[in-house]
Structure formats: structure tokens, C-alpha cells
Structure 1
């Protein structure tokens, strides 16, 4: 497939995405982008050019030290606006929503800017009036939403815009080319069913003990099972009957029992991050979001890793054509409690602009604005895997949401997480888990 056609397919697929899946790990931290001398809160400082008031914006991020998705835009903004300093409030992905919720409940001016980790939390913040509506800002600036190809409209809640599309992600399959070469096995293709993937994972499993190489790796998120159950677009993770997830849990448990993937309990107890598994070449393949492309590029650039890796389209159900995937959107919004609303809007505009899209593309990050230029930039980035098949992997034909735009999705996700863990550690049978999902979700939804 020619590059131009591939990029056109990706662009044509559009930005029909309304949720977020993101990576996890790291410790809570608070740092400053421009320099490390900023005290907590809003302060008056001396600028590089002389005395005067230096404006300070605070932004929330997660896992900022392991991904360039935030820092690259923050650095570009402060370089263009030397009189503005950005205070970064960084939290691990797993603790982000909880930490942000506690902060906002105090109704303090920090943070000013909020990167929204998932759509459910955005709806909750909107219902609590913790997010500043952006519509008046957009009207004043004659802001053009068409650059987001419909994604911005899908972020509107009750007719109000609380966030703009910052970045987009969807699931692909990462693989270790060196491990495949050593085994004399062909690389994963861009048209592979899940059954073919399971067989390939078994073939690529070798060794014992600490030297064992697993054929595949499933992170502990329930999304690494339920995503494939909604991949065909026939269901969502908010449903009255969860029997549709049964074959996917059967497959996940079997992979675990057969030793093709690391068992859930070990990963959970040891708090093993998926990036370390892949970077340490402990797994031949790994389903993960496109955000991990930037992580691997960054890792190679820093000489943290040296092996050759590739990317393929995510496998698909046997009755579904290649190109179906599951994905997410990261919005960026403004806290309702900010004491710098105009400056915050200026930052949000920049962070969700075409200029920022091209900056992030150089880091291998897919953004809310997908231009042919930005996609070509990602595909031609240093350390992006060579080969037309790797570029083709960036295209998709159908995009399902990992989490639907539902006001109660966070409550439901908690149930999904709890039942997922009980199934994977075999405290529940799969049938018992499905029964509990049906009962608890029906209670939440009032069905």
C-alpha cells in the first residue's frame, strides 16, 4: 500500500473518538517546566529580561517522565511565551483521576489546565461544574472546530464544550523483530485474526525462569480483554448482558494457564509496568496504544534500548475485517477555579493547534488534529521502524470507543476492573464474573 493512500485512509477514518486509555506507572511529583525555582502557588518573579510579574500556569499530567506527550508542548509554549512559567503537577496514571478529584474538590486555583485522562471523569467534572465552559472563548476568537474532523463536537456535553481534542490513540500490536528473527518466524501481519495471534504467541514462547521469553504480554488493565470484545462495534462496555466478553476471557485465561503470557497475579503484585516488559525483551508481542510509539522512539534515542521493533495493526475477530481497532481521545480543558482564565485559554488553544500537532508528531505522538504532514512526520521520525508495513499499521478502517460517553462510566469501569481481577486470579469463574457484571451494572444504570 502506498504511503499516500495509507495516510488518506487514516485521515478518512476521522476522529470519531470519545474516550481515553493511557499508560500507567511512576510516582506523584511536582516540577516546573521553565526553571526549578518556582514556589507552590501563584507568585511574582523576576523574568530573564528584568523585574516584573511573571505569570504562572499550573497543569496536570500523568507519567510525564516516561512519555513526551505533555512536555514537548509545554516546552514549546514557554519558549514562545517567556513571561509565562508552567508548573507541572505530575501523578502516576493509576492515581491521576483520584488525585485530580481531591484537588478540584478543594476549589483551589491550582491546577489551571487539566489534561483529561478519560471521558467519564470529564463528564463527572462537568456535572460538578469543575470545568470552565470554552464556548464564549471560542465565540470571541471565531475558533474553527472543523480542524478536528468532528471530534470536538463529540466532546460536547449537554451542548457545552468543556475540552478540545489534544491527542488521539488507538490500539496496535508491537513486536520485537530481533526475537522473531532469532526464532526464524515471520513477523505479525497487518491482517491477522486473534486465533492466529494466539498461535503465533505460543510459537514465540521459549525458555524458562528469568530467561523466559513470553510470546505475548497482556498488561493488567481490563481493557486488554474487554477492548477486543467491543472491537467489532457491536457492543460497548456499558451493556445489559456481558455474555459477549466470555470468549475473550476464556482466551486470556488460557494464555495465562499455558504460560504464553505472564500471569496477572505476578504482574499486579510486583507492580510490573508493561513498558519494562517490552523494553527488556521479555515478550515477543504486546497489544498497546499508539502512545507507546513515542515511548519506544524516545527509548531508542536515549540508548535505553537497542533492539529492532515493529508495529502491526491490532489482530481482529475472524468475522471482522482487518483495520478494526479500539481507541481513545485525550481532551484538554480549564479548571473552573482558575485565576488565569484568559491565559489558560491561550495555552489550551496552542496545545490543541496544528502547530502543536506537528511538534508532537516529531515525538511520535498522534494528536487531535491529524494532518497528512503530521502522519508523515511520525512515519519518518528517527527510530520509527522502517518498512511500509509499519506505516500501514498506522491506518484503520473502523474505530470503536474503549469507553462510551456515559455519565456513569467511571462507576461501571470500577466494577469492570474489580470483576476482571477476580476472574484473572481465578477467584471467580468467568460465568460468575459475567453474572456479577450484569447485576452490578444494572443496579448502577437502574435497569
Structure 2
């Protein structure tokens, strides 16, 4: 009882201070009125989470406000839809649905969107420019993370049409101990992929299951074409096919360089392939001398297990590494190690552009809003310093206010590594439309998986593999001209997202397709 009594007033104090900061402390006596918030994907199951994260506190402190959460596309409508004979379900046009929600008979006031949709909404004059409101309200953005504001402005012709209280970002984690043992200087901020790969080669040591590998492109995958190529090349924005989805674009020097670069790391045992990972896991799973099974919580995560010197991961990995190191004494044959983070590797062709910075909870005001005044007050509330202080406890996303961007739980790591780079420019909404109209287009990628493995093994060159992929991919695209809806639904599902905004859930960030 005592603990609850302490916690609740503290929460109320934060909520009260937020309200005071945003409203000047005035108590409203206005009649009850509605503020409608629109999200693209949602449903009854998701609404309670959204309310708990964004509206409950505001509604409690502003009893005259009633929130309505509106979904342009209901998850249930898709979940319970009967697939057609090809295994496909009807895919509504996300942008058209969003536009209907903004321009219909009862338009929403606030819209929650992700970065890929922001530019199109701005171009179609569907969002209110926030710069005048920011100036009139003297809403202080001086301590906003520059990459967040710059990224938002880049999608709005150097103007602000939305704000986000949080964002997601990834960085390069490295094992200080392995670099010290190898006598190699550890990585630093603003290094290119070439710099990082050179260090990865130098720090790779040992044989068999005892080998220490230089790097992995993610914590889990080994030799996975889609993941590794995407991670390495995302900032280059290479295309697999043209904008109409009628011609493959992979047989180019740029693609050849990407394939040669990534495949050589596997061939030289700088990056472990799936076979290497399986052998390491088998060793970890060996029975103890008395025949009892020994559980190892680092299984599958080679970096946390001390087998890899560098890896790419998101901000949430900070917590997992901290927990692992704090419990090292409980893990058989495991020694804790010091680690740190530096900026995501960049390409010389795209300086300063990171590969994994995402704004998924941008909030803008509908140009057709019926209650734009309260909409702006709410956006100020969710983007205030006080709100950032409360949200800084999040384990999944970073807050956009620099003042509250600090290492967690007294730890000492380079948190600026997550904020120093600019996001990749938004994906074209026309590209998203192509994925929707031709869901089978992902079959044009299928040939690449086996071909990439052949390049790793040295059976064929990257140039030969890309030429073969071009031929096989073009055959798929030609077929799709006649039957655009036919697809192997399981492969289509692997292709990625259409970049549309969803009701918030605390998960790791989703990759944007390279094609």
C-alpha cells in the first residue's frame, strides 16, 4: 500500500506539470468537446494501448476533452477476410484510406503517421504547417535532436508539418575486450562501412567454434541475403526494379559492388554464416559432464555471447546487454565484457545518412480539422519537455528532446551515436502503391537468395549472379503484367511493409524494402 501511495502522486505531479507547461496552468470550464485522432491501422484491441500511451493523462487533466481514436483501416477487416483462390486478401490503398479520413464528412483533427507518408500528405496540402503555430505559441524546439527536426523538414520543403515525441535508431555496438585482445583500435563515430569492415578483418581471430568474428549485420542472422544486403545498402537506395515494376535494375556496377563487398566478408570468415552459427549453438547446447542440459541465455546472440566484435542493433539492445553483463556470474563459462556504441556506418556516396533512423509516431494537424486549436494544444503536450522526461524511461524508443537523452540506469555509453546521423529520405509513395498493386513482385527477388549463396561459395561471380537474377526476375515481372495479383503469399509477406503508419506497438523497427 505504501509503495502505491508514493508512485501515484509522483505520476500525477508529472502530469500536472506537463499540463501547466502547455496551458499556463489555467483551469478550463468549457463544455465537453471532442478531439478526433486518426491512425492508419488500428482496431478495438489496439485502442487501449494508444490511449494509455498518449491520451489518458491529457484527458484526465482536461476533463472537457473527449478523445475519439479513428482508424482508417481496421485490423479486424483484414484479419477475418477470406483469401481468394491465390491466397491473397484484398489490400486497401493505405494512402487513399488516409486521405478519406482527413477529407471525409467527419475529418479527424490530429493524424498519427510515419515518415514515409509525411511527404505525400504535405504535397497534397492535407496537413497544416506548424511553423506559424510554433512561433505564435513560442513553443521551444531549441533542444530538439537536430536529426529529428532536419528529417521532418526534409519531408516538408524545409518546413515543419508534424512533430514526434520519440524516434527509433540503431547504432554499431562493439566489444572493447575483443579489440583490446586483438591489438586493434576500436571503431569511432562517423566511420564508413569500409572503415568498419577493415577493422572487422583485423579483429577476426581463431578457428572453429572458438573463432571470434569481426562483425555481423544484425544480432541474429547469418548469411541472410535480404537482411544483410538491406542493412549494408539501405542508405544507397538501390532499386531492384523500375518504378512500374516492369524491368529489373540489379545488373549494375553499384549492385555488383554491394554483392562483392558483403559476400567477401562471409567467404573470409569475417562474418559468420548460418552454418557457423549452428555449430556455435550446438557447442553451447552440449550436455554438462553429469548429463544435464545447460541453458545459455546468450544462445543465438553472438555479440552478447562474446563471439563477435561488432554488430548493428537498435537502442533497446542497451537494456539486453546490460542485463546480460549484470548476470554474467549466473551463465556457465561466460565472462562479462565492456562494450560501447558508435554511429551506424555510412557510405561515402551518402555522407551523414544513417541506415536505421525512423519516425513512426509523427503527429500533424489535418488541414480540414474541426478542432485545430485543441489539436495544437495536444501536440504541444505530447512534445513538451515534461512529457519527454516521463517518456525517457522507455526501453524501446528515444525521446526527441536532447535534455532527456541520457544513458540509462547510470550506465556510461555513447548515446549520441543514436542521434548523430540523418534519416534515409522517405520512400516514394508510388513505390508503396506498386507493392500493393503487384503483391507478387516480391517473387522477382526469390532467385537472389540462392545466387547470393553461390557467390559466397565462389561458384559464380557477383556479375554472373546479377545477370542471372536480372533474367529470372524479368520473367516474373513479365508474368505479372498479365496477372498482377497472383503471388506466393508467403513470399510476398516476407517482402516488407508498405511504409504505412500503424497503431503504436513496442516492437523493434521495421526495415524499409530496398526495391
Q: How high is the TM-score relative to the length of structure 2?
A: 0.48
Matched, 1:260 2:272: yes
For the 8 Å contact 1:112–1:344, the answer to whether it is kept is yes
Matched, 1:374 2:404: yes
- Displacement, 1:348? 1.8
For the 8 Å contact 1:170–1:328, the answer to whether it is kept is yes
Matches of 2:233 and 2:315 in 1, distance apart?
24
RMSD between aligned alpha carbons? Answer: 6.0
2:118 is aligned, of 107, 119, 122, to 122
SS of the residue aligned with 1:164? coil
- How many residue pairs match? The answer is 350
For the 8 Å contact 1:204–1:215, the answer to whether it is kept is no
- Displacement, 1:58? 3.9
Matches within 5 A, 1:123-138: 123-128=119-124, 130-134=126-130, 137-138=133-134
Matches of 2:34 and 2:66 in 1, distance apart?
5
1:403 is aligned, of 425, 450, 458, to 425
CA-to-partner distance for each residue in 1:36-74, whole Å, 9 max, x for gaps? xxxxxxxxxxxxxxxx95856546499999xx9996555
Matches within 5 A, 1:13-162: 53=32, 55=34, 57-58=36-37, 60=39, 77-78=58-59, 80-81=61-62, 84=66, 87=69, 100-101=94-95, 103-104=97-98, 106-107=100-101, 113-119=110-116, 121-128=117-124, 130-134=126-130, 137-138=133-134, 141-143=137-139, 148=144, 149=146, 151=150, 154-155=153-154, 157=156, 161-162=160-161
1:349 is aligned, of 368, 377, 380, to 380
- Displacement, 1:145? 5.6
Q: 1:117 to 1:224 in 2, by over 3 A?
A: farther
Matches of 2:347 and 2:157 in 1, distance apart?
38
Matched, 1:199 2:201: yes
Matches of 1:146 and 1:350 in 2, distance apart?
16
Comparing 358-367 with 52-61, which one deviates more in the overlay? 52-61
For the 8 Å contact 2:168–2:398, the answer to whether it is kept is yes
SS of the residue aligned with 2:398? coil
CA-to-partner distance for each residue in 1:194-234, whole Å, 9 max, x for gaps? 324543796599659xxx99962546796853564476xxx
CA-to-partner distance for each residue in 1:294-324, whole Å, 9 max, x for gaps? 46538978x9x9566844214647979x987
Q: Which blocks of at least 5 consecutive residues in structure 1 are unaligned? A: 1-51, 267-274, 441-447
Matches of 2:38 and 2:57 in 1, distance apart?
14
SS of the residue aligned with 1:403? coil
Matches of 1:70 and 1:171 in 2, distance apart?
27
Matches of 2:347 and 2:370 in 1, distance apart?
53
Matched, 1:430 2:442: no
SS of the residue aligned with 1:429? helix
Matched, 1:190 2:187: yes
For the 8 Å contact 1:214–1:261, the answer to whether it is kept is no
SS of the residue aligned with 1:382? helix
Q: 1:117 to 1:159 in 2, by over 3 A?
A: closer
2:229 is aligned, of 222, 225, 228, to 225
CA-to-partner distance for each residue in 1:244-292, whole Å, 9 max, x for gaps? 34333334345567671449xx9xxxxxxxx99649957845313xxx3
Partner of 2:312: 287
Matches of 1:230 and 1:139 in 2, distance apart?
36
Matches of 1:197 and 1:87 in 2, distance apart?
50
Matches within 5 A, 1:307-346: 310-314=339-343, 316=345, 325-326=354-355, 328=357, 330=359, 331-335=362-366, 340-346=371-377
Matches of 1:188 and 1:57 in 2, distance apart?
54
Q: How high is the TM-score relative to the length of structure 1?
A: 0.53
Partner of 2:498: none
Q: 1:392 to 1:56 in 2, by over 3 A?
A: closer
Q: 1:113 to 1:394 in 2, by over 3 A?
A: same
Q: 1:159 to 1:315 in 2, by over 3 A?
A: closer
Matches of 1:412 and 1:341 in 2, distance apart?
34
Q: Which protein shows a greater Rg?
A: 2
Matches of 1:187 and 1:80 in 2, distance apart?
56
- Displacement, 1:172? 0.9
CA-to-partner distance for each residue in 1:386-425, whole Å, 9 max, x for gaps? 45xx4574574xx354235766564699999877665344
Matches of 1:245 and 1:346 in 2, distance apart?
48
Q: 1:315 to 1:103 in 2, by over 3 A?
A: closer
Matches of 1:245 and 1:69 in 2, distance apart?
41
Matches of 2:393 and 2:207 in 1, distance apart?
34
Matches of 1:341 and 1:374 in 2, distance apart?
29
For the 8 Å contact 1:223–1:402, the answer to whether it is kept is no
SS of the residue aligned with 1:333? strand
For the 8 Å contact 2:176–2:339, the answer to whether it is kept is yes
Q: 1:152 to 1:118 in 2, by over 3 A?
A: closer
For the 8 Å contact 2:172–2:345, the answer to whether it is kept is no
For the 8 Å contact 2:451–2:465, the answer to whether it is kept is yes
Partner of 2:253: 243
Q: 1:197 to 1:222 in 2, by over 3 A?
A: farther
Q: Which blocks of at least 5 consecutive residues in structure 2 are unaligned? A: 1-30, 79-90, 243-248, 279-297, 329-335, 453-463, 478-515
